[in-house]
Every structure is written in C-alpha cells, then in structure tokens.
Amino acid sequence: MSETVAIPEDNDSNLLPRRSVVYCGACGMPPEYCPYGPDFETHCDPWLARHHPELRALLAERRGTVVTAPASVKPTTDVPTPARPAHPWTTADRLTAFYEQYVPDKVDSVPALLEKYAGKEDKLFLALTKKYGPEPSDPYYSDSADYDDDEESNDDDADDDDNRVPADGADVTSDSNQKNKKRRGAAAKKVSEGTVATRVVVQKISQRKRRHLTVIQGMETVPGIKLKDASKMFSKRFAGSSSVKETAVGTKEIIIQGDHQVDVAEMIVDKFGVAESCVFLDMDGDVVPLR
Amino acid sequence: MFKRFDPSHDTSTSTQVKASIQRSLKSQILDRHKSITEDTLEVLLPKKSPLVQYKVGSHMMLYCKRSEHEDKSPTDEPVLFQHRDGPIMPTLKLLHRYPTLKFTQVTVDKGAIPFLLGGANVMCPGLTNPGGEMPADGSEQDEHGFDKPGLKKGDGVVIYAEGKEFAIAVGTMTMSSLEVRGKNKGIAIELMHYLGDGLYQTDEI
C-alpha cells in the first residue's frame, strides 16, 4: 500500500528491499493498530503526535476522523460549561483543567508531563493534589447524584495502584465505594475486591514429635496479593515446602513446613504491608494479636 | 500458540541447523508459497550464515537468525517457526520488515481485527464478507478435471487486515478455501501467531 508509513532503509538487495518499521513506543504495535488497544488516548496518541505527527495525520485520515491538534494542546478555556460534554475527560483533559485552575502558565507543559508520567498518572495527580489542592471535577460526571466535592478531594488515594496496599481493613471498605467511579478504559476492568476486612491468622500445628506445620488463614483478605506468589515467597524464605490449600469452608490457607509462627507473622507485616493489628497468632486455640 | 510465550522460560535447547536441513526448509517454503522465488529466499536466508533452532515446548521449532556482537554474547532473532510437521511460517516482525516478501496471504474484514488482536481464530465470514479476500478457487484443475481450491486444508497463510498495511497474524487453514466459501460457518483459520502475542514481543532471544 502506501510507502509513507515506513521509511525505506538501505536495501541489502534489489530482490528483497528492507525497510525500517515504525512501532508505537507506547504499545509496541504498528501505529495503525494502536486504536484497538486500551491506552490509545492516554499513551499511543500522545506518543505518535510527538514523534511522528505526519504519520498520525495520515492514519487519522484513513480512519476517517478529522485531524485535530493533540487533545492536550487544544486550548479549553471554557472549562466548566453548563452543558454536559459527550464523553468523560481524557487524562490530558483532566491535567489541562487542573493546570488551568491553579497554574495557567504551565498549561503548555502538559504534553511533556503526560509523556513523563505515562502509566503513572495516578502518582502525578496524587502529587498535584498535594501541592495545589483538590482537582477540578469532570463536568461529565457532575450531574451524577452521588458525586460530591468531599469525595473528589481524596479521590486520588482511591485510584488503583496495586503496590500500595491499604494498611487497614477498615480503610479498604470505605474506599471501595469511590474506587469504581473514576475508572475508564483498561483500568476499568480491575474490580476492587476489598470489601472484606483484612484478618490474617497464623497457626502452628504439631504433627509427630518435633514436626510442625505453620498454617496461614485469611491471606486472601489482604488486597493485592496472589496466594500462589505469597506461598512461593514463604517457601523461599523458610527453605521448606509451602502450598495453597482450600479448606472445607471454601476459604484458602497457606501451609508451610516447619515451625515459623512468629517469623511468618512478622514477614506478613514487613513484606506484604499488612497492619500489625490485622495479624493474629493462634496459640493453642487462643487467638491473640501479634502485638 | 505463542500467546504466553516467554523466551526465558519456554525455549529449551538451541542448535545450529545443518545445511542440509536448511535446504529442505527453503524448498518447503518455496513449495508452499508460490510467489516467493528462490533468489529472494536466498537473500533472506543466506547459505553462509546458518540458522539457529530453538525448541519451544514439545512440538514447536523456532528458527532464528544469529547476530554476533563484539561486546556481548550473540543474540538470536526469531524469523521462522514450525509446529509439528505443519507449514513453516515467518514471524510478523520479519514480514513487516520485508514488504515485498509475499507468503500466501488472505485478508480479513475490518470487523475481525479486534478479535484477532485478542488471539481468536478467524471465522469463515471474516474471509467471505466484503473486505475479506482469499486466493480464487479453480485456477488449476486436478487430474480428474475438478477445480483445485485456492487454499488447501493445512496451508499456512499470512493474514492481512482490510485497509491496513501490516500483516496482523499468521495461521493455518482448518478447511480448504472451497469449503470456506461453501459453508461460511465456523473456524476457517487457526491462529498461530498474532500482533501482541509473546513471540511478537520477543525481539531477540
């Protein structure tokens, strides 16, 4: 088809001309397939606009859409329009609106920021809200009934980031409500499961004379942890076998060979970031808090 | 087949391909894909630099081009693969790089693109709808005077998408093109390798 997409390279033969192919820096696909990916608006399109603007125009033309300036550069001075816009904000819109409210001089740096924080937008907005204050709300959501300012202010904490494990069980339940709101696109697929309060019980079971097992119950209530991975970490740390078993009740438990009751409890606190108040030791039938 | 391919886990032994085996590889490709000439294939896979063969799983062979580096150990770039005794097919990165290299090809209509990118097999309507394309049947006759299908069952094909420049996937026909046109239902091509799968993401081993 058209040669404009790929730049011809030095041919190693007339028989078999070789060309260098442009692959999207964000998703790795040929750019013509980018719109099918989940992060086209947030990652691919900005990347393309920055590195291959002529290619971007060409592809947009082929798709039959009107070529506009990158959404991030577009001046959107009339921010809070009373009419509800047709679609929710993209990340670029959200960031632009933020800068327009607090530091209008810096609006130009929005594309660069987006590039820098691609994939880490949550952190960017968290830092921004800390520095400047609550971010402006998206007019698309403005008339939904349960959307108020109070939620907006700490909304960034609720944004999903699996590495940051909420420390307390109670914390999780209060956040889960807001969690479902801001997500769009690929992130929307991740469903929060944190409605159960975190409670981990470590138990020691004696088998024969000096043989023991350490059983961890309730590990699945810790958000952001896969039981299998956790089990593997335990087996590495304690140099013994470790497995995930389903109990009769339907919950799951991790069984580790050897007597590591206290060590395991401490490891759960240190490595997995579970609050000490959520970890319990089972001492011959008495459940006692770790500390 | 390569959906969760990860070279560090899934490849086992690597061996240099014997010259005689490389010759038979080439003749197989020439045999299956009529529009490739011997000369172009010779440029693509020169006799002088032998291929390196990796075992993937139990029945998959991955043929790679080795490139030497001064400061580090040689790296291998996947170029061809073969499942059991199936057709020998090229990787998508290779196809993208050599636009004139024409393996037997089909085109699917626009609607099939998102499914293919998820790794789904190609269903018949994807090839027969307007926008889809297959080699015509009946250009040749067999010894009994019947039309030969343009594509036989088991043929390896490179899949292009309507309105797109780059190949989107590689697969094997699960029925002949005659049947596809006749039945127009069910799986027509079993997908082996597509944009975004593990093999596609592997630049070198």
Beta strands B60-67 and B75-83, pairing class: antiparallel
* Domain map (residue ranges) of chain A: 7-63, 91-189, 200-289
Query: Looking at A129-138, A178-187, B10-19, which range is the least confident one?
Result: A178-187
User: Which three-class secondary structure state does DSSP give residue A279?
Assistant: strand
Asked if A288 reaches chain B (Cβ–Cβ under 8 Å), the answer is no
Q: What is the pLDDT of residue B161?
A: 93
Q: Is A21 on the interface with B (CB under 8 A)?
A: yes
Q: Cα distance from A1 to chain B (closest Cα, Å)? A: 6
Q: Domain A200-289, CATH 3.90.245.10 — does that match? A: no
* For B39, nearest residue in chain A (alpha carbons): A15
Q: Is pLDDT above 70 for B40?
A: yes
Structure tokens, B140 = 């040749």
**CATH classification of B105-194, choosing from 3.30.365.10, 3.10.400.20, 3.40.50.800, 3.90.1170.50?**
3.10.400.20
**Confidence (pLDDT) at A152:** 42
Structure confidence at residue A88 (pLDDT): 63
How far is the C-alpha of B156 from the C-alpha of B174, rounded, in Å?
Answer: 10
Long-range contacts of B79-82 (CB under 8 A, 24+ apart): B79/B44, B79/B45, B79/B51, B80/B25, B80/B51, B81/B56, B81/B192, B81/B193, B81/B199
For A15, which of B39, B93, B164 is closest by C-beta distance? B39
Q: Which of A175-179, A215-219, B140-144 has the highest mean pLDDT?
A: A215-219
Query: Looking at B25-134, which runs of residues are DSSP E strands?
Result: 52-56, 60-67, 75-83, 88-90, 105-108, 122-123
Residue, of A188 and A45, whose pLDDT is higher: A45
Per-residue model confidence as pLDDT tens digits over A105-125: 777 777 777 777 777 777 777
Domain coordinates in residue numbering, chain B: 7-91, 105-194
Task: Give A186-231 pLDDT, tens digit per residue.
Answer: 333 333 444 567 788 888 888 877 888 899 888 878 777 778 788 8
| Cβ-Cβ contacts under 8 Å, B100 against chain A | 16-17
Nearest beta carbon to residue B117 from set A6, A36, A62: A36
CATH architecture of the domain with residue range B7-91: Roll (3.10)
| Chain B residues in contact with chain A using a Cβ-Cβ cutoff of 8 Å | 37, 39-40, 43-44, 93, 96-101, 113-114, 117, 163-166, 168, 195-196, 200-201
CB atoms near residue B32 (< 10 Å): 18
Residue B52: strand, helix, or coil? strand
pLDDT surpassing 80 at residue A21: yes
CA distance A195 to A192: 8
Structure token pair of residue B28: 């197989």
Q: What is the pLDDT of residue B96?
A: 92
